[in-house]
A and B are shown apart, each in its own frame.
Chain A
Amino acid sequence: MDTAVDFWSTLYVFVLATFIGLGVIRRVSRLLHTPLMSLTNAISAIAVVGAILVTGGDYPQHIRILGAIALFASTTNIVSGFLITDRMLKMFKTDDKRSGPPAKLGAGEGRH
């Protein structure tokens, strides 16, 4: 499997993906940098793929234990990463979508 061809094609993927990443991330709204970080975190927990192969493969038990711990860690990142990103993004609202829109020419009473 480890031919020279594989070696070069993986490096190509890395370089191209890095440039795509730089291009796309640079356009991300600065408002969303915290959710961005939790989202990329969840996405890079795709290392779960390697953990599944190690945990489920026909390997000695001690190897599979390492895999299972890695699988647990990655799953935690996937679950908490996507959930918290969504939770944060739900909070970003425009003026007209807020629960209590402030009356424009307020006049009178405070709202309580």
Chain B
Amino acid sequence: MMYGVSQFGYLVASALFILALHWMNAPATARKGVYAGGAGTAIAILVTWADPSVIHHLWIVLAIVAGFVVGIPLSKVPLTAVPQRTALSHAFGGAAAGLVGTAEYYMRFAEGPEHLTPFRMIALVAEIILGYLTLTGSLMAAGKLQEVKWVPQRPVTYPFQNAINLTLFATAIALAAALTLHPTAPWAPLVFAAIIVLALSFGVLLIIPIGGADMPTVIAILNSYAGLSAVAMGFVLDNKLLITAGALDGSSGLILAIIMCKAMNRSFTNVLFGAFGQVKQAAGDTEERVYKSETPEGAAQALEQANLVVIIPGYGMAVAQAQHKVRELYDQLKKRGITVKFAIHPVAGRMPGHMNVLLAEADIPYTDLVEMDEINPDMPQVDVALVVGANDVVNPAARTDKTSPIYGMPIIDADKARSVFAIKRSKNPGFAGIDNALYFSDRTWMLFGDAKNVIGELVKQLAGGSGMH
């Protein structure tokens, strides 16, 4: 009887989860998706808690209360910190899977071999490898994104790195195979513990050679792992809701990772084993190149005379906290009947879709946020392209220079606009450490300074001018 009730509850929850993701296809319905997902989770928790095998309640209550105490502040982080929070939640998801898997193994080990069938053992080992690997890998990723001191920002490489990683991984697989064949041998609990240690170290080793520019892809891949660890838990517990929810999460991470890879013209293997950002400044040609600087006054005049302005934001805009000033600029231009669009590169920001959220927070209507592929054909008609804190995603070397490390990466064609104004804090190269030919073009003028101050100046110029007539 109770079995029927709980299975029905799980079935309803599965349907709600699929609906939740379906409603994410448009901003207008997306919030309904959150409610559907929340309702599904609540139903699943209630029917599980009501299961007759659940006889101790105090710890459950305490753990849930603690989850709320930590979870609520985590949901209020600034939007620039959302990538870190996401990585941290992958770590928590991995930890949960790993810990439940560990508990499952040791408790079934005590109960006897008939519970540890080969299928269940394979699922268990997959669960703990994926879970613990996601735990440490995501913590490393979160540390890199948060720029904490003890996590190196630049990729760390050493001789035979990939060989060492592969050997570790092969060892874990071999141990897993031995464990599957003899799950209740006297040495089995030790081997199980050894696999945990290997998975934990593997997670660290997998992330340290990956540079900051690749973090959007890495987060997406870790998202996929976290989902798959939930799937494996579903196999162990024979719970189809877990399998469904984990598969949805896993496929979501996979799709996002593929989109990120395409946006950088890289392959999975290249991201994971390529140590991007290592051998960068090699392509330094010595020919003399000159920037043309412009004052905010001059830039404001050019903006005023434009019909179509495209703003190309990069993560530098968020670092300078300039998005609210950008919105004031947007309002000033709109007021003059100028069309203003934002060109969003898929890897602008530090996780998939990050830039859209940052601009939405600044109250810029999402209807004016345009994807790279949609805006590029219109770029030759653009009067002013304003680059704010973006660098590699507007670097024409990606189209022309075969020796450039970003060659082949799709970019926003800022260089095709009639004129370009680029706001840049200093003359140093960007996040990926590559020099940018756009800044030396005939049609480009540089506005050096902190993005927030420069945009503030532009707004002041425009506001002052408009009061004159």
Take A32-B27, A74-B93, A95-B367 as given contacts and tell me if A58 and B86 are in contact as well, using a CB distance cutoff of 8 Å.
no
Smallest beta-carbon distance A99→chain B, Å: 6
The segment out of B37-45, B201-209, B420-428 that lies at the interface is: B37-45
Smallest beta-carbon distance B404→chain A, Å: 26
| CB-CB contacts below 8 Å: B53-88 with A | 53-57, 59-60, 62-64, 66-68, 70-72, 74-77, 79, 82, 85-86
Determine if A34 and B251 form an interchain contact, defined as CB atoms under 8 angstroms apart.
no
Residues of A within 8 A of B296 (CB): none
Determine if A40 and B49 form an interchain contact, defined as CB atoms under 8 angstroms apart.
no
Q: Which among A27, A49, A76, A93 is the interface contact of B92 at CB below 8 angstroms?
A: A76
Residues of A within 8 A of B117 (CB): 2
Bound together, the chains give a CA A52 to CA B107 distance in angstroms of: 15
Bound together, the chains give a CA A71 to CA B26 distance in angstroms of: 32
Bound together, the chains give a CA A8 to CA B312 distance in angstroms of: 50
Smallest beta-carbon distance A112→chain B, Å: 7
Residues of B within 8 A of A17 (CB): 14, 243-244, 247-248
- The secondary-structure label for the interface of chain A is helix
What string of 1s and 0s marks CB contacts (under 8 Å) between A74-88 and chain B? Answer: 111111111111111
Determine if B31 and A86 form an interchain contact, defined as CB atoms under 8 angstroms apart.
yes
Q: Does B466 belong to the interface (CB within 8 Å)?
A: yes
Q: Does B300 belong to the interface (CB within 8 Å)?
A: no
Determine if A78 and B67 form an interchain contact, defined as CB atoms under 8 angstroms apart.
yes
Interface residues on A, range: 35 or more
Residues of B within 8 A of A37 (CB): 86, 219-220, 223, 252-253, 256, 351-353
Smallest beta-carbon distance B64→chain A, Å: 5
Residues of A within 8 A of B397 (CB): none
Residues of A within 8 A of B356 (CB): 30-34, 92
Determine if B89 and A40 form an interchain contact, defined as CB atoms under 8 angstroms apart.
no
Bound together, the chains give a CA A1 to CA B115 distance in angstroms of: 9
Q: Does B48 belong to the interface (CB within 8 Å)?
A: yes
| CB-CB contacts below 8 Å: A7-24 with B | 7, 9-10, 13-14, 17-18, 20-22, 24
Q: Residue of B at shortest CB range from A44?
A: B249
What are 10 A-B contacts defined by CB distance under 8 Å? A20-B247, A24-B248, A28-B25, A34-B356, A75-B67, A76-B92, A79-B72, A98-B363, A100-B363, A102-B335
- Given contact pairs A2-B120, A81-B75, a sample of 8 additional A-B residue pairs in the complex whose CB atoms are under 8 Å apart: A13-B240, A18-B250, A52-B60, A54-B104, A69-B95, A77-B89, A77-B93, A79-B72
* A-B pairs, 8 with minimum CB distance: A75-B67, A33-B353, A106-B335, A79-B71, A21-B251, A56-B54, A83-B75, A44-B249
